[in-house]
Structure 1
Amino acid sequence: MAHSFDVIIIGGGILGTSISYFLSSLNKSKKIAVIEQAHKVAFHTSGRNTGKVHAPYLYNPIKKKLFAKSAFHGYEMWETYAKLKKLPFKKDGVIEVALDDKGIKVLEKYLKWGKENGLEDSDIELLNKEEIKKTEPEIKCESALCVYKDASTDYSLFTNSIMKDSEKNGTTLLLDTRVTKIRKGKDRWTITIDGEHEIHTKFLINAAGGEAVDIAHSMGVAKKVTDVHFRGEYWKVPKAYNNLTKSSVYSVPEFPDYPFLDPHWILRVDGSCEIGPNAVPVFSPYGYDKVENIKEFFPKMLEMLGSGARKAIFDKQFQELAVNEIQSSMSKSAMVNRVKKFLPKIDADKITEKGTAGIRSSIIDEGGKFVPDVIQIDDEASFHILNYNSPGATGALPFAAHIVNHLHEEGFFQCEDTEAQCGPWKFNEIIQKIH
């Protein structure tokens, strides 16, 4: 293993691997490495999600312009990449349902946002309850937003393929490798891995997902924010329900300022269906079980109580929502009953098998508010991406290209050829689209 690199990326999720893909495509002579502590890329959040390729109707075109553009172009890029690599990409759409007049107003706003973010009339339409019954007779609602430019895939397969392409470009992938210490020298970073070995880099990119805040703090960055972790759980439904709907079905979120989700009816790319996810508060980005959560309970609580998160966890509404999510974890019926509101045919007794759980990490600022958008921080010879959540997987390719272009334009890391061909795309053409 080489000990010195020009760039090291911490995090082998879909964003870290996509950044490595574009960096290695534009810089044939530079040494690039990706460090991932798991035994494979996309082992955590990137491979434990709904697998949806989201159309940008949920994102405010002014406040979340970059995310909306990334999702819009990400759909096209993943579709192209799937065809090139013969990976699954199923155009099955999504239906967002409103159960009351308040929800209908939200759907009207989403329709407006979707069109402002680039969706055509043929991509999205708002139907009343009589109209939706004609195409989806099992759905019960007052109104439904049908989004046809929405698809299903397997992001684990995408991430693995992108990483292999990056390795072909010369990127070094270090799996089963944990960063235990980072210190800054005169002209390079020294990174201690697995508690004993040292490697060096001129520039460091922190794309570590659930551990991104901890890494930033260890480097003296983003000290005024902290993160909280939520485990999203799924239930697999029996095959008899697989044709209940033609599309995935979401309901309008009742509390959009909080990272709590009403469980969805999810069509997977393999044709199976699931209910989920909820958002159960946990104490570790790897808090899939009791042992890990018990181990991290006191350190995480001390961190939260000493930060703006203290205001959030003592907020009465937050506490009520958290209790509801915990109940949905302890009681299968509690979760299934949320979906029964719009799919009354579902019988909780027939659902017996749990799906794979994933963990999402959300940032709380010093004022105790959840940060709604991604945080990008330039620091001395380093770049940090925090709070990279939904539609993170959908927009990973164009967003990664944006980051690489930003580093180049700001002089943090000069790329050799910004007109290079990156697989089926010209890099500068991607940048023109999202900017």
Structure 2
Amino acid sequence: MEDVSTVSSAASSPSPSAGGPTARRAAYDCDVLVVGGGIVGLSTAYALTRARPGTRVVVLEKEDGPARHQTGRNSGVIHSGVYYRPGSLKARFAVRGATEMVKFCAEYGIAHRVTGKLIVATERAELPRLHALVQRGRENGIPVRELGPAQIAEYEPHVKGLAAIHVATTGVCDYGAVAAELARLVEAAGAEVRHGAEVVAVDRRPGVGVAVRTAAGAVVRARAMVNCAGLHCDRVARLAGDAPPVRIVPFRGEYHELVPERGRLVRGLVYPVPDPAFPFLGVHLTRGIDGSVHIGPNAVPALAREGYRWRTARARDLAGTLGWPGFWHIARRHWRYGAGEMRRSLSKAAFTEAVRRLLPEVEAADLRPAPAGVRAQAVGRDGTLVDDFLITRAPHTVHVLNAPSPAATASLPIGREVARRALAALDAAR
């Protein structure tokens, strides 16, 4: 996605005392301020410290530690890149990122395994889409092997399907541990990571820089700002005076896990053939790094941006979703799909039925609830579900406006790309 120039305007928030464009270096608290301490924000800070040593970097994270939201609430899969349109940022960064993530985990002693995965067609109507994935994987340079029913059983004896593909480069890791290690490396390089620092106001002055105020009243002045705020990235963009072309619509992904005595039913990773109309991969089976088997997620609209339970609702968040025209376009266009997801959310029997398409032996009693996650899905005004990573640039500012899965897998190359754009913004500011 190319840089998008937007109109900036100063917000009625903290005024930087940086003086004019020629203000001395000491007038700034840092060169680059990163908002958001998830895996993308920390990877960006990590890339900045390596691309240009001596650059003063500060990371502001509103929670009391890293990886509290999307980074730490997913299935831990290192994605191969087989699903993504050739040439897209997702395809390029996922393929490269999978290799780099395995290397990073090995270098720093972070638990990981390269297990490979099966994508299984259970109905004849899915076979053309499965064959299209084979072609897409090969175009992306990913080793893909086609399997028949007997070969499926060699990998996963309890999984049933008409055909499948085996993707050898998929694995699992502990992304929370990866984020913690990135934070350690960032601080060791001289950068600062501040937790409990929620950004509530941004004042951007063209030719001067950016100042932000946190909920605690602290003001941080920088020459350039990077917005990696995930679930709140569009809000931070608006605080800066920009008009992002998308709105974050939160979708909760609900998981179950197999009770331990039934864990033998799944050896590795098993996915259904995804519907290309949606950015969601469907209910899949994942043996995690700790040996537990997670099943899910489904995808239902969340009533809050951090709405990990049905009962968690935030009036501001809900009003933001309902007030965005794109949400209603999605609802009208895909109501049948949404109704199925809601049914699986509200009915354990319906969720079990979906799982049984891949794993016929499973029973409702074999499943128990597991922690949910929320996907920050960027949606255009016309209802377009933004499929690729979306990174835009404005004066003194870079916004990461769409970085859902496979962003954790691709976080190291994403960080380098965002850092490159941030350094360009920094040079322009100087």
With normalisation by structure 1, the TM-score equals: 0.87
Give 1:335 deviation, angstroms. 1.4
* Corresponding residue pairs, total: 401
Q: 1:320 aligns with which of 331, 336, 339?
A: 336
The structural deviation recorded for 1:11 is 0.7
Amino acid corresponding to residue 205 of structure 1 in structure 2: V
CA contact (8 A) 1:54 1:150 kept: yes
**1:302 CA displacement:** 4.7
The equivalent residue for 2:278 is 258
Rounded to whole Å, the distance in 1 between the matches of 2:155 and 2:286 is 17
Letter in 2 for 1:346: V
> Residue type of the partner of 2:70?
T
1:399 equivalent among 414, 417, 421: 414
Aligned-partner residue type, residue 28 of structure 1: P
**Is 1:167 aligned with 2:167?**
no
Change (3 A) 1:248 1:382: same
| Partner Cα distance (2:81, 2:226) in 1 | 27
* Equivalence for 1:44: 69
Query: Is the CA contact 1:28–1:170 (under 8 Å) kept in the aligned structure 2?
Result: no
Structure 1 unaligned blocks of 5 or more: 416-435
Structure 1 residues 185-210: Cα deviation after superposition (integer angstroms, max 9, x where no partner): 35021101015221111100001111
Match of 2:248, SS? strand
Q: Is the aligned partner of 1:73 residue 2:96?
A: yes
Is residue 231–residue 359 contact of structure 1 (8 Å, CA) maintained in 2?
yes
1:131 Cα deviation after fit: 2.5
Equivalent residue letter for 1:40: G
89 and 223 in structure 1: CA distance in 2 versus 1, 3 angstrom threshold:
closer
Q: Shift of the alpha carbon at 1:369?
A: 1.6
Matched residues in 1 for 2:28 and 2:200: separation? 16
| SS of 1:47 mapped into structure 2 | coil
Which deviations, in whole Å up to 9, do the C-alpha atoms of 1:167-225 show, x marking residues without a partner?
Answer: 10011111011101111235021101015221111100001111011111222324432
Judge conservation of contact 1:3–1:198 (CA < 8 Å) in 2: no
Report the equivalent of 2:10: none
CA 1:383–1:328 in structure 2 vs 1: closer, same or farther (change >3 Å)? same
Q: Which runs of 5+ in 2 are unaligned?
A: 1-26
The offset of 1:159, in angstroms, is: 0.7
- The worse-fitting range, judged by mean Cα deviation, of 184-193 and 196-205 is 184-193
For residues 350 and 245 of structure 1, the distance between their equivalents in structure 2, rounded to whole angstroms, comes to 12
Is 1:310 aligned to residue 323 of structure 2?
no
Corresponding position of 1:87: 110
Question: Cα distance 1:61–1:164, how it changes in 2: closer, same or farther (>3 A)?
Answer: same
Q: SS where residue 220 of structure 1 aligns?
A: coil
Q: How far does residue 3 in structure 1 lie from its aligned partner after superposition? A: 6.9
Aligned identity (percent) is 27
Counterparts of residues 170-249 of structure 1 (less than 5 Å): 170-185=190-205, 187-194=208-215, 196-249=217-270
2:347 counterpart (318, 331, 338): 331
Paired residue type of 1:19: T
The reply on whether 1:130 has 2:150 as its aligned counterpart is yes
- Which range moved further: 9-18 or 365-374? 365-374
Contact 2:302 2:310 in 1 (8 A): no
- Residues 407 and 247 of structure 1: is their aligned pair in 2 closer, same or farther, counting only changes over 3 Å? same
Whichever residue aligns with residue 146 of structure 1, its letter is: H
CA distance, structure 1, for counterparts of residue 116 and residue 343 of structure 2: 30
The residue aligned with 1:272 is 292
Partner Cα separation in structure 1 for residue 94 and residue 374 of structure 2: 21
1:260 Cα deviation after fit: 4.4
2:123 is aligned to: 100
* Structure 1 residues 198 and 405, CA gap change in structure 2 (3 angstroms): closer
Matched residue, 1:412: 425
Structure 2: which amino acid aligns with 1:412?
A
> 2:237 is matched by which residue type in structure 1?
A
Question: Which position in structure 1 is the counterpart of 2:31?
Answer: 6
Q: Which amino acid aligns with 2:260?
A: K
The TM-score with structure 2 as length reference comes to 0.88
CA distance in 1, matches of 2:155, 2:112: 22
Displacement of 1:139 after TM fit?
1.2
| Alpha-carbon separation, structure 2, partners of 1:260 and 1:56 | 14
Query: What RMSD in Å do the two structures reach over aligned CA positions?
Result: 2.0
